[in-house]
Structure 1
Amino acid sequence: MARVPEVVRDLAQRQHGMVARRQLRDLGLNRDQVASNVRAGRWAERSPVVVSTFTGELSREQCAWLGVLHAGPPAVVGGYGALERHGLKNWHRDDITVLVDEGAHLEPVPGIDWFRTRRPLELWKSTSPLPMARVEPAALLCAAYEPSWRTAQGLLAAVVQQRLTTAARLREQLERMKPLRRAPRFRILLTEIAGGAGSLAEVDVTRLCRDFGLPSPTRQRRRKDRTGRWRYTDCEWDLSDGTVLVLEVDGAFHMEVEHWEDDIRRQRGLTAPGRIVVRCTSREVRDEPFQLAADLRALGLAALCA
């Protein structure tokens, strides 16, 4: 067979080895030439309309390319897959969501979830070479259709906490996406996040304080520990006697031994004369707020209440 044209090699390199048959046709390769490469074991058919210029298992990036190339424009990667690629950590999902036009008729592709929408996908695209939704529309649409409201809240808090976007940018995008499921609840949540809550647990602490008549905490206060390292505390209150009460909220991943030990070491480093550091779990904040509120009052927080 004749050597593969350089333009085809360049395209395949930009797309991590994944190419659509329509792209190859536009670059001058006919069906027989493509079939010859597949039969020879140089290329592999990945779907009826997509081939790879290599054989073997696909990486996650290549799976994402498979999805958008199979669907064709204006398809973009969305959902957790897009957010993961933007840098979101600890929210991995195996399947990759591809947002496609509502009228698209697509056969199933293993590992790809088609999400049909009338939204303006071209306007949502990021600057990445991979057709992919920007953080804000990807996060809001994903949260809107997430079965668990708890998970939906956590996702929006996480993209802000991990500095992928801001509550203000999410709010702006939310107004451009009218109508959207859960939009009224999202507005309340984003207002709470904008007030300084960097995680869903901090949002829960703020609600706990409001519900039980306790003063709102200062969140993410920057402090040096005894080694001179800068730390950010979850929640702090300045008590009337000059003592500082610090509450650190542990999420589920803190149960792993290495994180647990890191948090114990962190607590020792932040504890100082005049500064009390206590810990709770995110489950306690969510399921036993009355007990946590009572404990905070016993440590002196009640003195600040009207």
Structure 2
Amino acid sequence: MSSESWSELAHAQAGMVSQGQLTELGVSRSFVRNQLRARRWAQRTSSVFSTTTGPLSRSQCLWRAVLHAGPTAMIGGLTAAELHGLKNWSRDDITVLVDDELSFDPIEGVDFVRSRRPLASMRSMRDLPLCRLEPAILLFAGYVPSRRTAHGVVAASVQQRLTTPDRLNNWLARMTPLRRAPEFRTLLRDISGGAHSLSEIDLRRACERFGLTTPRGQRSRRDRRGRRRWTDAEWDLPDGCVLVLEVDGGYHDEVRQAAADRSRHRKLVTRRRIIVSCSSYELRHEPESVMEDLIALGVPRTR
């Protein structure tokens, strides 16, 4: 046994090692017991040890979860999406994708998702066993109870430029069958047409339904301080003015965020630029009211 071999492995895994790894490296169980008795190590699950003591970091919790589940397991779902860079969709619980044949004890704060799909083909080339972004997003979206959440996370992954509709469509084909796949293909066609968020897609559909012209989305503007801002939707009105509609999502309900949005809107208003707002909930569930207001403000109708 080489102390460098297990210590190098532990260093690469945020100080976490499994009993199976130690056995492969020739580390005896008596050596492990001595480390535990001396309180240099700590046992974190029935088969995983940390070579440090004290509270576990987030990185250590991730390693504990995948090491506990076995060599084919990997981080998946929104946990994987967050590690790939997805913002505003984080969850406290860790999601781990596991082979359907594996058997192990549960861990508090870890959601083990069993799958018969070929997990190896979905794995990202990183030290931490991690699912690729596209299959992680699609598996989560396919089976989360809320359809709104499912569509929202798919749209967000494209909106935040972490992936593309083409890559997601390619994975949809590879993951057949997948629940909600037809809906996702429709959603991705809408996104490919220029709408990058779910609210933009809802707005386009509402305009088509009520006969309003399609707005320009994500237009660059300079506010009175010279800062570049991006508006959600704009229409050129017949009187020469510009009407801007800002769509507030769920996170805009926070007091600080709402105050920042109002300040931002004021700085974009001019004598020829009118700014109004609505919530994503209204646009999704009460589009009639929003469309009536837009018509009253002069948004042109389609011929």
Q: TM-score range by the shorter chain?
A: over 0.9
Q: Which residue of 1 aligns with 2:21?
A: 23
Q: Which residue of 2 aligns with 1:290?
A: 288
Distance 2:250 2:108 in 1: 31
Q: Which residue of 2 aligns with 1:33?
A: 31
Q: Secondary structure in 1 aligned to 2:124?
A: coil
Which segments of 5 or more consecutive residues in structure 2 lack a partner in the other structure? none
Q: Secondary structure in 1 aligned to 2:246?
A: strand
1:153 to 131, 151, 154: 151
Give the counterpart letter for 1:290 in structure 2. E
2:70 to 69, 72, 83: 72
Distance 1:231 1:198 in 2: 16
- The CA deviation at 1:221 is 1.3
Is the Cα–Cα contact under 8 Å of residues 211 and 301 in structure 2 kept in the other structure? no
Q: Which residue of 2 aligns with 1:173?
A: 171
Deviations, residues 169-226 of structure 1 (Å, cap 9, x unaligned): 2112111111100000111111112222222221211121122121222111122222
Distance 1:178 1:238 in 2: 44
Is the Cα–Cα contact under 8 Å of residues 219 and 234 in structure 1 kept in the other structure? yes
Q: Which residue of 1 aligns with 2:58?
A: 60
Q: Which residue of 1 aligns with 2:189?
A: 191
Q: Which residue of 1 aligns with 2:276?
A: 278
Q: Which residue of 2 aligns with 1:206?
A: 204
Deviations, residues 92-129 of structure 1 (Å, cap 9, x unaligned): 22211111112112221222211111222111111221
> Structure 1 residues 47-56 or 188-197, which shifts more?
188-197
Percent of residue pairs identical:
54
Is the Cα–Cα contact under 8 Å of residues 209 and 293 in structure 1 kept in the other structure? yes
Let me know the Cα RMSD of the aligned residues: 1.6
Q: Which residue of 2 aligns with 1:304?
A: 301
Is the Cα–Cα contact under 8 Å of residues 196 and 220 in structure 1 kept in the other structure? no
Q: Secondary structure in 2 aligned to 1:47?
A: coil
Q: Which residue of 1 aligns with 2:117?
A: 119
Distance 2:230 2:175 in 1: 34
> Structure 1 residues 92-101 or 179-188, which shifts more?
92-101
**Are residues 1:144 and 2:125 paired?**
no
Deviations, residues 208-251 of structure 1 (Å, cap 9, x unaligned): 11221212221111222222211111111223333221110111
Distance 1:176 1:226 in 2: 49
Give the counterpart letter for 1:305 in structure 2. T
Q: Which residue of 1 aligns with 2:261?
A: 263
Which segments of 5 or more consecutive residues in structure 1 lack a partner in the other structure? none
Is the Cα–Cα contact under 8 Å of residues 224 and 270 in structure 1 kept in the other structure? yes
Distance 2:117 2:144 in 1: 17
- The CA deviation at 1:32 is 0.8
Deviations, residues 43-92 of structure 1 (Å, cap 9, x unaligned): 11111111110112222221111121112222110011111111222222
Structure-2-length-normalised TM-score? 0.95
> Structure 1 residues 197-206 or 286-295, which shifts more?
197-206
Q: Which residue of 2 aligns with 1:90?
A: 88
Is the Cα–Cα contact under 8 Å of residues 70 and 102 in structure 2 kept in the other structure? no
Is the Cα–Cα contact under 8 Å of residues 122 and 135 in structure 2 kept in the other structure? yes
Distance 1:120 1:228 in 2: 52
Structure-1-length-normalised TM-score? 0.94
Is the Cα–Cα contact under 8 Å of residues 198 and 220 in structure 1 kept in the other structure? no
2:226 to 228, 251, 255: 228
Distance 1:271 1:166 in 2: 33
Q: Which residue of 2 aligns with 1:162?
A: 160
Is the Cα–Cα contact under 8 Å of residues 50 and 70 in structure 1 kept in the other structure? yes
- The CA deviation at 1:167 is 2.0
Paired positions, count? 303
Give the counterpart letter for 2:82 in structure 1. E
Q: Secondary structure in 1 aligned to 2:211?
A: coil
Q: Secondary structure in 2 aligned to 1:80?
A: helix
Q: Secondary structure in 1 aligned to 2:130?
A: coil
